[in-house]
């Protein structure tokens, strides 16, 4: 839908525009409320409850010298890239726990890292305000830093990065309040996304079947869904009470979950255009730093700042399990591409594979 | 190049001072091309107009009922439940992370 240019009227004053925006906000809420005929957990009452889950740490990846900030799986379901506060980016073989590659970034706090779909490169960035791509060499002796390519340039820290469906384009989000789409080869910005009123902390690309959109979450407590072709924000959701640290699409692409410093995770349905579930407990008072769904979307894993991982039944809204093991905040969490395990990274310098 | 850097630095300093003085978050109109925007009346109207534009788009989208959306989410879960290893559990022999030996590597 092309943006409707609001024609500049000479009578436009700040006051009239403010009134119109208030009216529109109310109208938006009314429209959304009209369709709110039932709660998700009510509809889910008729399905069977989940049984007891036994999930344990199967591997512990040790080697980072400081807080692990981000991790990503390779499409081959066994390799993992992780980045840390000490500036190191490590590629691991999760089956054997061996380190395959290590790169030292010129900056500390490497807050974002991503594996390329081909498995031949990794992207990372952080306080250097850039996103750089490192092609992975089969030759262990080769210095990876030599082939580094600077792709994205922001005016504040890089908070998240993600390859689109190919190695050729990268999506980034930054503390400067914007997201951007870049061409890896030329370093050219293909599209920029403005709309957040504060740092953007996370983003997730929609599953390929559902088209060219992505969702971002920020310190302005808003989650925004963007059209990648036009740069337009097509939907936004503002129900969290604090910074949104993590957003992740539901496997079907029709919904997404978010984890926030307000100690809740929430599920937003895109077609109903509203929040449909809140995952919270009075006993959980620390923020959720990262969330991810299991393959079927029935389970939501949340890594929290109180060192635990809570497993939620997405449909019923209840917690099914709580996992202990990390000795400091869980900062990042991703389910493997084939859903057989998930990996969590923590400020305790380690990564754990759970299954 | 140095002028752009100076403007960028100056803006960063102002941002920091605003935070310290307890003023609202920085203006959402700091564009990527680093052009400096002074807070004038024209700018406020431009911002307000952009907000109205955005709200019109969001108010105008097609929505479905929560009951329908919830039903679809449930049916997706049901369809894919059997092939979700973390949900149903796979035998040790099929999960590469679960060791076949009796002790677990920590």
Q: CB–CB of A272 and B63 under 8 A? A: yes
Determine how β-strand A68-73 pairs with β-strand A299-304: unpaired
At B30, the pLDDT band (50, 70, 90 cuts) reads very low
Q: What is the pLDDT of residue A270?
A: 95
The rounded distance, in Å, linking the Cα atoms of A186 and A88 is: 25
| Percent of chain A at pLDDT exceeding 70 | 95
Top pLDDT among A1 and A228 is at A228
Q: Residue B11 falls within a domain, yes or no? A: no
Average pLDDT of the residues of chain A:
92
Q: Residue A258 falls within a domain, yes or no? A: yes
Return the closest-CA partner of residue B97 out of A343, A116, A350.
A343
Q: Residue B56 falls within a domain, yes or no? A: yes
Region of poorest pLDDT, from A142-151, A188-197, A255-264, A332-341:
A142-151
- Structure confidence by residue, pLDDT tens digits, B45-87: 888 888 888 888 888 888 999 999 999 999 999 999 999 999 9
A98 to chain B, any CB pair closer than 8 A? The answer is no
Q: What is the pLDDT of residue A141?
A: 63
Interface of B with A in 60-89 (CB under 8 A): 60-61, 63-74, 76-81, 83-87
At A304, the pLDDT band (50, 70, 90 cuts) reads very high
Asked if A252 and A207 count as a contact pair (C-beta separation under 8 A), the reply is: yes
Q: Residue A3 falls within a domain, yes or no? A: no
Average pLDDT (A209-237) is: 92
Average pLDDT (A169-190) is: 95
Q: Residue B99 falls within a domain, yes or no? A: no
Q: Residue A7 falls within a domain, yes or no? A: no
Top pLDDT among A334 and B4 is at A334
Q: Residue B91 falls within a domain, yes or no? A: no
Answer whether 0.95 is exceeded by the pTM: no
Q: Residue B43 falls within a domain, yes or no? A: yes
Nearest CA-CA distance, residue A268 and chain B, Å: 10
Q: Residue A6 falls within a domain, yes or no? A: no
At A56, the pLDDT band (50, 70, 90 cuts) reads very high
At B96, the pLDDT band (50, 70, 90 cuts) reads confident
Give the 3-state secondary structure of residue A173.
strand
- Structure confidence by residue, pLDDT tens digits, A23-34: 888 888 888 888
The rounded distance, in Å, linking the Cα atoms of A289 and B27 is: 26
The rounded distance, in Å, linking the Cα atoms of A321 and A312 is: 7
| Percent of chain A at pLDDT exceeding 90 | 78
User: What domain range includes position B54?
Assistant: 32-80
> Looking at beta carbons, which residues of chain A come within 8 Å of B10?
none
Domain count, chain A: 1
Average pLDDT (A223-232) is: 94
Neighbours of A211 (CB within 10 A): 11
Q: Is the pLDDT of residue B34 over 50?
A: no
The rounded distance, in Å, linking the Cα atoms of A34 and A19 is: 23
Q: Residue A9 falls within a domain, yes or no? A: no
Return the closest-CA partner of residue A260 out of A277, A241, A278, A273.
A241
At B33, the pLDDT band (50, 70, 90 cuts) reads very low
List the alpha helices (DSSP H) in chain A.
14-34, 40-43
Residue A77: burial class (beta carbons within 10 Å; 0-12, 13-18, 19+): middle
The rounded distance, in Å, linking the Cα atoms of A86 and B1 is: 31
Q: Residue B52 falls within a domain, yes or no? A: yes
Residues comprising chain A, all counted: 355
Asked if A354 and A60 count as a contact pair (C-beta separation under 8 A), the reply is: no
Top pLDDT among A35 and A282 is at A282
Q: CB–CB of B28 and A177 under 8 A? A: yes
Q: Residue B5 falls within a domain, yes or no? A: no
CB pairs under 8 A between A and B: 211
Nearest CA-CA distance, residue A297 and chain B, Å: 6
Q: Is the pLDDT of residue A2 over 50?
A: no
- Structure confidence by residue, pLDDT tens digits, A115-162: 999 999 999 999 999 999 999 987 766 677 778 899 999 999 999 999
Residue B66 has its nearest CB partner, among A194, A272, A299, at A272
Average pLDDT (A235-256) is: 96
Q: CB–CB of B74 and A60 under 8 A? A: no
Q: What is the pLDDT of residue A10?
A: 54
Q: In Å, how far are A2, A251, A316, A342 from A255, measured between CA atoms?
A: 23, 8, 16, 21
Q: What is the pLDDT of residue A300?
A: 97
Q: What is the pLDDT of residue A5?
A: 52
The rounded distance, in Å, linking the Cα atoms of A136 and A251 is: 29
A140 to chain B, any CB pair closer than 8 A? The answer is no
The rounded distance, in Å, linking the Cα atoms of A78 and A93 is: 6
DSSP letter for B23, please: P
Q: Residue A13 falls within a domain, yes or no? A: no
Q: What is the pLDDT of residue A8?
A: 60
Sheet of strand A319-323, all strands in order from the earlier edge strand to the far edge: A288-293, A299-304, A309-313, A319-323
Q: What angle do CA A299, A303, A304 make, to 5 degrees?
A: 130
At B39, the pLDDT band (50, 70, 90 cuts) reads very low
The rounded distance, in Å, linking the Cα atoms of A247 and A270 is: 13
DSSP labels for A16-31?
A: HHHHHHHHHHHHHHHH
Average pLDDT (B88-96) is: 80
User: What domain range includes position A208?
Assistant: 19-354
Top pLDDT among B6 and A6 is at B6
Q: Residue A14 falls within a domain, yes or no? A: no
At B38, the pLDDT band (50, 70, 90 cuts) reads very low
> Looking at beta carbons, which residues of chain B come within 8 Å of A272?
63-66, 68-69
> Looking at beta carbons, which residues of chain A come within 8 Å of B101?
none
Q: What is the pLDDT of residue B22?
A: 53
- Structure confidence by residue, pLDDT tens digits, A173-183: 999 999 999 99
Q: What is the pLDDT of residue B32?
A: 35
Residue B98 has its nearest CB partner, among A43, A273, A355, at A355
User: How is residue A34 written in tokens?
Assistant: 């009209």
Domain count, chain B: 1
Region of poorest pLDDT, from A119-133, A161-175, A203-217, A220-234:
A203-217
Cα A90 from chain centre: 20
**A241-271: b (≥16 Cβ within 10 Å) or e:** eebbbbbbbbbbbbbbbbbbbbbbbbbbbbb
> What's the CATH code of the domain at A39?
2.130.10.10
Return the closest-CA partner of residue A277 out of A307, A297, A295, A303.
A297
> What's the CATH code of the domain at B37?
4.10.260.10
At A55, the pLDDT band (50, 70, 90 cuts) reads very high
Average pLDDT (A99-110) is: 91
Q: Residue A27 falls within a domain, yes or no? A: yes
> Looking at beta carbons, which residues of chain B come within 8 Å of A177?
26, 28, 30
């Amino acid at each position: 839908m092309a943006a409707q240019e609001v024609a500049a009227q000479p009578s436009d004053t700040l006051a009239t525009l403010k009134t119109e925006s208030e009216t529109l906000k109310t109208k938006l809420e009314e429209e959304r409320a009209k369709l709110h005929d039932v709660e998700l957990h009510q509809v889910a009452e008729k399905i069977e409850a989940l049984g007891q889950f036994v999930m344990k740490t199967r591997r512990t990846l040790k080697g980072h010298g400081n807080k692990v900030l981000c991790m990503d799986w390779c499409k081959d379901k066994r390799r993992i890239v992780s980045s840390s506060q000490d500036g190191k980016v490590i590629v691991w073989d999760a089956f054997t726990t061996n380190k395959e590659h290590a790169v030292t970034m010129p900056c500390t706090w490497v807050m974002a890292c991503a594996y390329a779909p081909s498995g031949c490169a990794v992207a990372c960035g952080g306080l250097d305000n850039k996103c750089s791509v490192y092609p992975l060499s089969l030759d262990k002796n080769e210095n990876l830093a030599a082939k580094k390519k600077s792709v994205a340039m922001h005016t504040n820290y890089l908070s998240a990065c993600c390859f689109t469906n190919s190695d050729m384009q990268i999506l980034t989000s930054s503390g400067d309040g914007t997201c951007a789409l870049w061409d890896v080869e030329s370093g050219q910005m293909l599209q920029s996304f403005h709309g957040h009123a504060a740092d953007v902390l996370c983003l997730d690309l929609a599953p390929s079947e559902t088209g060219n959109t992505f969702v971002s979450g920020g310190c302005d407590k808003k989650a925004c869904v963007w059209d990648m072709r036009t740069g337009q924000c097509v939907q936004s959701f503002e129900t969290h009470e604090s910074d949104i640290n993590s957003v992740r699409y539901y496997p079907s692409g029709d919904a997404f979950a978010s984890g926030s410093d307000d100690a809740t995770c929430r599920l937003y349905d895109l077609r109903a255009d509203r929040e449909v579930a809140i995952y919270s407990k009075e006993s959980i008072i620390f923020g959720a730093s990262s969330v991810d769904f299991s393959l079927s979307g029935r389970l939501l894993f949340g890594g929290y700042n109180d060192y635990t991982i809570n497993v939620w039944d997405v449909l019923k809204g209840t917690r099914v399990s709580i996992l202990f093991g990390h000795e400091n905040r869980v900062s990042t969490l991703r389910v493997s591409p084939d859903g057989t395990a998930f990996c969590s990274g923590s400020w305790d310098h380690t990564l754990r594979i759970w299954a | 190049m140095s002028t752009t850097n100076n403007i960028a630095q100056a803006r960063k300093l102002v941002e920091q001072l605003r935070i310290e003085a307890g003023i609202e978050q920085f203006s959402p109109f700091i564009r990527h091309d680093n052009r400096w925007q002074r807070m004038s009346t024209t700018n406020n109207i431009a911002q307000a107009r952009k907000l109205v534009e955005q709200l019109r788009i969001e108010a105008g989208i097609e929505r479905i009922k929560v009951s329908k959306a919830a039903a679809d989410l449930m049916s997706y879960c049901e369809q894919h439940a059997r092939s979700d290893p973390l949900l149903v559990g796979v035998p040790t022999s099929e999960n590469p992370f679960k060791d076949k030996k009796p002790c677990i590597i920590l």
